A and B are shown apart, each in its own frame.
Chain A
Amino acid sequence: MTDMTPTQPPVMRMQNLDKVYPNGTVALKNLFLDVHPGEFVSLLGPSGCGKSTALKIAAGLTGHSAGRIQRPGEDEVRGIRAKPGDIAFVFQEPNLMPWLSVFDNVFLPLKLAGTSRAEARPRIEEILATVGLAGFAGSYPRELSGGMKMRVSIARALVTKPRLLLMDEPFAALDEITRNKISQDLLSLWQATGSTVIFVTHSVFESVFLSNRIVVMAARPGRIIGEIGVDAPYPRDAGFRLTPDYAAHCREVSALLTRAMES
């Protein structure tokens, strides 16, 4: 996973991206970011640095003001839009439909794409088992804990086998014990599926534990001020959090983040 072949074209490429809100606020300025297949990239920064905005632009949920973006499966020249399901998004909130069971929530992206229930069933059962919710297909979101809801949200994101998985502080609302467990499970999932992840967070520890590249952003205007590679090998487990290597990386990232907040 860690040795990237630089010849491979990036899954997603942002070039000179600007985002200016109608009220004049500059959310992003001159953003350049290439994400390569199989990477786990964290966007780290203080609030207001535009990291969530960058992710929403990547997902196509909001437009950009200037610059170019190349999404997976998209061809600007030939006017081909990204296929729904090629890009998945895990939001800060689980954003589950309260009137649908766990099964139907995970089925939703496939249903919208026209897949029949019977056709989708094996895939949904498989993905629910992968996120550790095998027995909960018939439950409703309100019956689940916060961590389990987030697992359903991740299952829904992965069910379409996305080429790019975008995650916007998905574990921020969870308690630390749940967060550690679910982070580790996310890493196993990422390794098993070989997907590409962009993960937005404001936690230094979370970013070092998860990613092989950390992009640090600063606010006003939102911009990238540096990036740090984390070359520790996967699989990483709870033991990784105790290594000197982990501590060193946390220090390094913290220093960069401090600079980001001072600038």
Chain B
Amino acid sequence: MAEQSPAPSPDIPPAPPARPGRLARNLREAGPTVAAGLAFIAIWEITVHALGVSKFVLPPPTMIAASMIRDFPYLMQALAYTAGITVAAFLAAVVSGILGGLLLTQHKDVERMLWPYAIALQVTPMVAIAPLVIIWVGLDRVWLGLMILAWLVAFFPMLANTVQGLKSADRGLQDVMSLYQASRWQRFRHLQLPAALPYILTGARISSSLAVIGGVVAEFVAGSGASTGLAWVIVESGTMLDVPRMFAALFILSIFGLAIWWLTSLVQARLLSRWHESELGGER
């Protein structure tokens, strides 16, 4: 074997850096982000005090923090409600999106039959059908209505990406499967599905943040007291002019959205780490 190998070691993959190294790197990478956040908060605090802005317009961060501590149990309860609906809607979107994608790619006619309606579902503003959905499920089961609405928003990217992914298997690899007379199932299991995985995961990332947005918007639409999530906290605090609590709820919502995004990114990195360009970063 006279060829030069670019792989550092034959059998063992390039070992991940040792723990302290990785921690140091993570800290190094998080540094600028944290610094920017702290600077922003500091400028906010100083500006509010210096200009004497009313707490009903823009409360200083310290006041928001105080509110967050004071109303912590209440806020956490609201978060649990919103999180439950969002996660349930997201999981439903993942399952139904993948199954729907499988169905649509079975036959050209199935696609012709269903695809335009899937798009119609996507372009209909969710806010416009929210009242209808809430009426259908009944005001005593608003949570179900919210879940359906959040699912409606999160479903389409999942479906579209799955369809795209299942169709994107490389022509040459399909020839390999044909050569070995792979069954339809084998072709799906060993070629289409792994080839579609990066697309499906991208769809899941988009869906996850849309599920949060969908859940919150639906809660706004559902309105007064029928739901008890973070969106309701924001509405209620607004009417009570408790602006610091509004901000506190908003922050928790952002952090929750970030956590979901980070979690889906983690799953993506895990599943694609060894082969997909998107996860290889600078190494090479």
With most chain B CB atoms within 10 A of its CB, the pick from A99, A132, A137 is A99
Q: A91-B175, A142-B280 are in contact. Are A132 and B1 (CB under 8 A)?
A: yes
Give 1 or 0 for each of B1-30: 1 = CB within 8 Å of chain A CB.
111111100111100000000000000000
| B172 interface neighbour in A85, A95, A142, A178, Cβ under 8 Å | A95
Q: Which residues of B contact A98 (CB under 8 A)?
A: 275-276
Contact in complex: B176, A143 (CB < 8 Å): no
Given contacts A89-B175, A112-B180, contact A145 B194 (CB under 8 A): no
Tally of B interface residues using CB under 8 Å: 32
Asked if A221 is at the interface (CB within 8 A of a chain B CB), the reply is no
The distance in angstroms between the C-alpha atoms of A60 and B194, with both chains bound, is: 25
Q: Contacts of A108 on B, CB cut-off 8 Å?
A: 176, 180, 190
Q: Is A236 an interface residue (CB 8 A)?
A: no
| In the complex, chain A residues whose CB is within 8 Å of the CB of B179 | 59-61, 84, 87-89
Q: Which residues of A contact B181 (CB under 8 A)?
A: 84, 112
B175 touches A61 (CB 8 A): yes
Q: Are A97 and B191 in contact (CB under 8 A)?
A: yes
Contact B173 A95 (CB under 8 A): yes
Interface residues on A, range: 35 or more
**Contact in complex: A181, B186 (CB < 8 Å):** no
Q: How far is the CB of A9 from chain B (nearest CB, A)?
A: 23
* Given A108-B190, A140-B274, A148-B5; A61-B11 close (CB under 8 Å): no
Task: List residues of chain B with CB under 8 Å of any chain A CB.
Answer: 1-7, 10-13, 170, 172-173, 175-182, 186, 190-191, 194, 197, 274-277, 280
Interface centre among B180, B181, B194 (most CB of A within 10 A): B180
A147 at the interface (CB under 8 A from B): yes
> Min CB distance, B166 to chain A, in Å?
15
Q: Is the CB of B11 within 8 A of A137?
A: yes
B180→A113 contact, CB < 8 A: yes
Shortest CB-to-CB span from A84 to chain B, Å, is: 4
B184–chain A nearest beta-carbon distance, Å: 12
Q: Bound state CA distance, A135 and B10, in angstroms?
A: 5
Which chain A residues lie closer than 8 Å to B5 at the CB level?
136, 144-145, 148
User: How far apart are the CA atoms of A111 and B173 in the complex, in Å?
Assistant: 15
* A145 contact set on B, CB distance < 8 A: 3-6
Interface of B is mostly: loop
Query: CB of A139 within 8 A of chain B?
Result: yes
- Taken residue by residue from 135 to 158, chain A's Cβ proximity to chain B (1 for < 8 Å, 0 otherwise) reads as 111111111110110000000000
Least CB distance, B271 to chain A, in whole angstroms: 9
Residues of B within 8 A of A137 (CB): 11
CB pair A84–B180 under 8 Å, yes or no, is yes
Q: Which residue of the partner chain A has the closest CB to B176?
A: A95
The answer on a CB contact under 8 Å between B7 and A144 is yes
Q: Interface digits, A111-139 against B, CB 8 Å rule (1 contact, 0 not)? A: 11100000000000000000011011111
Chain A residues, CB < 8 A from B274:
99, 140
Q: State whether the Cβ of A73 lies closer than 8 Å to any Cβ in chain B.
A: no
A143 touches B11 (CB 8 A): no
Residue contact A140 to B275, C-beta cutoff 8 Å? yes
Q: Are B194 and A97 interface neighbours, CB within 8 A?
A: yes
Minimum distance in angstroms from B276 CB to a CB of chain A: 7
Determine if A147 and B3 form an interchain contact, defined as CB atoms under 8 angstroms apart: yes
In the complex, which residues of chain A have a beta carbon less than 8 angstroms from the beta carbon of B191? 97
Chain A residues near B190 (CB, 8 Å)?
Answer: 97, 108, 111-112
Instruction: Judge whether B6 and A144 touch: CB under 8 Å.
Output: yes
- Bound state CA distance, A99 and B197, in angstroms? 10
List 9 A-B pairs, minimum CB-CB distance, nearest first.
Answer: A135-B10, A132-B1, A95-B172, A84-B181, A143-B7, A99-B194, A99-B275, A98-B275, A84-B180
Alpha-carbon separation in the docked complex, A147 to B4 (Å)? 10
Contact residues in B for A138 (Cβ distance below 8 Å): 10-13
Which chain A residues border B11 with CB–CB below 8 Å?
135-139
Are A91 and B3 closer than 8 Å at their CB atoms? no
Could you name 21 residue pairs across A and B whose Cβ atoms are closer than 8 Å? A61-B178, A84-B179, A84-B181, A85-B180, A87-B179, A89-B175, A91-B172, A95-B170, A95-B175, A97-B190, A99-B194, A109-B180, A133-B1, A135-B10, A136-B5, A136-B11, A137-B11, A138-B12, A139-B11, A143-B6, A145-B5
- Taking the complex as formed, is A74 at the interface, i.e. its CB lies under 8 A from any CB of chain B? no
| A93 part of interface (Cβ distance < 8 Å) | yes
Interface string of A64-85 (1 = CB under 8 A from B): 0000000000000000000011
Closest Cβ of chain B: how far from A66's Cβ, in Å?
22
Give CA–CA (A113, B182) in the complex, Å. 8
Distance in Å from the Cβ of B55 to the closest Cβ of chain A?
A: 55
List, in ascending order, chain A residues with CB within 8 A of B4's CB.
Answer: 145
- Which A residue's beta carbon lies closest to that of B170? A95
Contact call A136/B10, Cβ cutoff below 8 A: yes
Q: For the complex, what is the distance from the CA of A97 to the CA of B274, rounded to whole Å? A: 12
